[in-house]
Structure 1
Amino acid sequence: MAKARVAVLISGGGTNMAALLYAAKRPDSPYEVVLVASNNPDAEGLKLAQAEGVATFAQSHVGLKRVDHDEIMHNHITKAGAAYVVLAGYMRILSESFVEKWDGRMLNIHPSLLPKYTGLHTHQRAIDAGDSVAGCSVHLVTADLDEGPLLGQMEVAVLPNDTADSLAERVKIAEHQLYPRTLADYVSRATDPDYLTSKVREIALAQPEADEVVSH
C-alpha cells in the first residue's frame, strides 16, 4: 500500500517534526514526510529536514495578509503532493479558508490534556491549578483554536518542584512519542477494522428507520 504523503509546518527548531521524520524512516511506517515548510526562513528545523533529504519551503508572513500567506503555503503543500498537513510548532493562527481546505486532513499537537488549557502557558497553568498530571494532546484542526476532535493523549506526572520549564521538557518527550504513533494510526484508519465498523455503524444509525439492538 502506498504511504500517506505528509507535509509538516514548523516555525522553529522542529523537534516534533524530527520525531515524525525519523519515525517515518521505519519500513512499516504508513506515512512519509514529503515537505517541511515554515513561515520563518531562519527556522532551524529546515536545516535538519534538508540534511535528511526532505524538500523544504519557507515564506515569511511579514507584510502579507493572513489569507494570502496561507494560500502560498497551501499551493506549495499541494505541489508537493501532500495528502495531510501536520502542524509541529507552527506559530500561526490559520485562516478559515486554509482550515476548510484541509478539513479532516490536518493535525496539531498541543502541550496540555485538552480540553484543559487551550492557548499558551499551558505548563504554568497546570502547576498553578495544582494538577497531579499534565501532558499533551493530538487533535484535528478546526476553526476553533485547540478545540478539534481528539485523536490521542499522553499524561505526564507533575513533580513537586516542577517549574514550567522542567515540566515542558518532559511533556516534549511525551509529544515525540505520541505524535508519530497517532499520525500513523490516523492515516492508516481506512484499513483498521474497528474504524471501519464504527463508520458503518454511524452511517447505518443515520438512516431514519434505523434502530440499534445490542447482541448478546
Structure 2
Amino acid sequence: GSYQKGKIIHGLRKAGTIPNTTIYHAGTSYDAETHEFKTSGGRVLAASSLSPTIASSSSLSYSSLLSLCFDGMSYRKDIGRVLPAFGLQSNVALRVGVLGSTKGTDLQAIIDAIENKRLSGVEIVAVGSNISSSGILERAKKHNLNTFYVKYGNSQDKGEREKIRIEGDKKVQNELTKANCDVVLLIGWMRILSIQFTEFFQGRLLNVHPSLLPKFGNTMDSDTHSMVIDSDEIETGCTIHRVTEKVDGGEIILQKKCGVTRKGDYPDGVDSLKNKVQALEGAAFLEILEKFRDEKIQSCKRKRRG
C-alpha cells in the first residue's frame, strides 16, 4: 500500500552527498513553514547512481538510502541483481579473504551486494583481524562468515619487533591459504605487512586508501580526511592499489573521486567527507571484485579448452 501522508523525511541532505548519485522526488511535498520535506503518499523517493558496473552503482544507491528515514519507510532490496554467468559453478567463484582492524564498513558493502544478488560469482571465505574485539569480526560473524584472529606481540627491541611481525604475518598467511583465497582485501588493516607476506600474495593483495594517491600517502583514516580539508583540495576520493613492501606505493588499479567543498562547510569535522569517501570505497571494491571474478572465469574457460 501507499505511505501515509505528512511524514517528515529525514536525511535528504546527507543522502545527497553520496557521489555520482541523484535522489528523485515523487510522493513528496515541501512544507514552507517548517522547511521540511514530507511524504505525500505513494512512492516517495528514488535513488539512481552512475558507475562503471551494476554492482558499484547499486552500492552507491543503497548507501544513499541508508541515510534516509521516515515513519513507515521501506524499499526493495533486489534492484540491480545480476544473474550468475552461464555455466558458472561454485568452485569457479572468486574466493575472497579480508583483513581488517577496525569497523569494516567497506566489508558491509560487499556482503550486501553478495547477499542481495547484485554481485554474483564472488564468495567471502575468510575474515581475519589482529584485534579480537574488532568491529569487522563482529560484522563478519553476524553474517556467518568464517573468521580468525591472530595476536601480534610487542617489544621495545627493533629486531624482536620484526621477528614478531614476520611470525604473525605467517599465521595470517596460513589462515588465508587454508581458505584458498584468490584475492585478499585490506579493509582498515592497521599493520604494515612484511615483505615475505606481500611477496607471497603478490598481485592479489589489495588495499583501499582514503585519498587519491600519491596525495596523502602514509596517512590513515580521519587524519587523511582532515589533511585533505586543511589543504584546500578541490577533489578527493579513494584509491585501490596492489600492496607491496612500500606503504601505499603499489600499482594503482582504480580511483574514484568526489568534490571537496570549502573548509568551513565541515562543521562536523571530517565525518561528512569520510562518509562520502567510504561510499566510494565500497563501490570501488565491488568493481574490482567483478574484474577479478571475470578474469578467473576466463582463465577457467581457457584451461577447459586446453
TM-score (ref. length: structure 2): 0.59
| Amino acid paired to 2:105 | T
User: Which residue of structure 1 lines up, in the alignment, with residue 196 of structure 2?
Assistant: 97
| Amino acid paired to 1:48 | R
SS in 2 for 1:188: helix
Say whether the 8 Å CA contact 1:113–1:135 is kept in structure 2.
Answer: yes
1:83 corresponds to which of 144, 164, 182: 182
Can you list the C-alpha shifts for 1:174-207, whole angstroms capped at 9, x where unaligned? 1122112222213423567xxxxxxxxxxxxxxx
Say whether the 8 Å CA contact 1:36–1:54 is kept in structure 2.
Answer: yes
Q: 2: distance between equivalents of 1:187 and 1:146? A: 24
TM-score (ref. length: structure 1): 0.83
- C-alpha change, 1:27 and 1:179, in structure 2 (3 Å) is closer
| Amino acid paired to 2:121 | P
Count of residues paired in the alignment:
192
User: Which residue of structure 1 lines up, in the alignment, with residue 137 of structure 2?
Assistant: 46
Deviation at 1:62, TM superposition (A): 2.6
SS in 2 for 1:115: coil
- C-alpha change, 1:43 and 1:28, in structure 2 (3 Å) is closer
% identical equivalent positions: 34
- C-alpha change, 1:112 and 1:92, in structure 2 (3 Å) is same
Deviation at 1:83, TM superposition (A): 1.7
User: Which residue of structure 2 lines up, in the alignment, with residue 156 of structure 1?
Assistant: 258
Say whether the 8 Å CA contact 2:100–2:186 is kept in structure 1.
Answer: yes
Say whether the 8 Å CA contact 1:21–1:32 is kept in structure 2.
Answer: no
2:278 corresponds to which of 168, 172, 175: 172
How do 1:122-161 and structure 2 match up within 5 A?
A: 122-160=224-262, 161=265
Can you list the C-alpha shifts for 1:97-120, whole angstroms capped at 9, x where unaligned? 000000001111000011111021
- C-alpha change, 1:28 and 1:20, in structure 2 (3 Å) is closer
Residue 58 of structure 1 pairs with residue 157 of structure 2? no
Residue 73 of structure 1 pairs with residue 172 of structure 2? yes
| Amino acid paired to 2:278 | K
Deviation at 1:9, TM superposition (A): 0.4
Say whether the 8 Å CA contact 2:235–2:258 is kept in structure 1.
Answer: yes
SS in 2 for 1:169: helix
User: Which residue of structure 2 lines up, in the alignment, with residue 208 of structure 1?
Assistant: none
| Amino acid paired to 2:176 | I
User: Which residue of structure 2 lines up, in the alignment, with residue 189 of structure 1?
Assistant: 295
Deviation at 1:55, TM superposition (A): 0.4
Q: Judge which range, 27-36 or 117-126, deviates more.
A: 27-36
Say whether the 8 Å CA contact 1:71–1:98 is kept in structure 2.
Answer: yes
Deviation at 1:155, TM superposition (A): 0.8
Residue 22 of structure 1 pairs with residue 112 of structure 2? yes
Q: 2: distance between equivalents of 1:43 and 1:181? A: 26
Say whether the 8 Å CA contact 1:10–1:17 is kept in structure 2.
Answer: no
Unaligned stretches of 5+ in structure 1?
193-216
Taking only aligned residues, the RMSD between alpha carbons, in angstroms, comes to: 1.7
| Amino acid paired to 2:122 | Y
SS in 1 for 2:238: strand
How do 1:189-208 and structure 2 match up within 5 A?
A: 189=295
Q: Judge which range, 150-159 or 92-101, deviates more.
A: 150-159
User: Which residue of structure 2 lines up, in the alignment, with residue 210 of structure 1?
Assistant: none
| Amino acid paired to 1:6 | V
Can you list the C-alpha shifts for 1:29-65, whole angstroms capped at 9, x where unaligned? 2321001100001112212211211100011213470
Q: Judge which range, 161-170 or 144-153, deviates more.
A: 161-170
Can you list the C-alpha shifts for 1:110-164, whole angstroms capped at 9, x where unaligned? 0001111102122122222211111101111111111211121111111221343
Q: 1: distance between equivalents of 2:204 and 2:282? A: 20
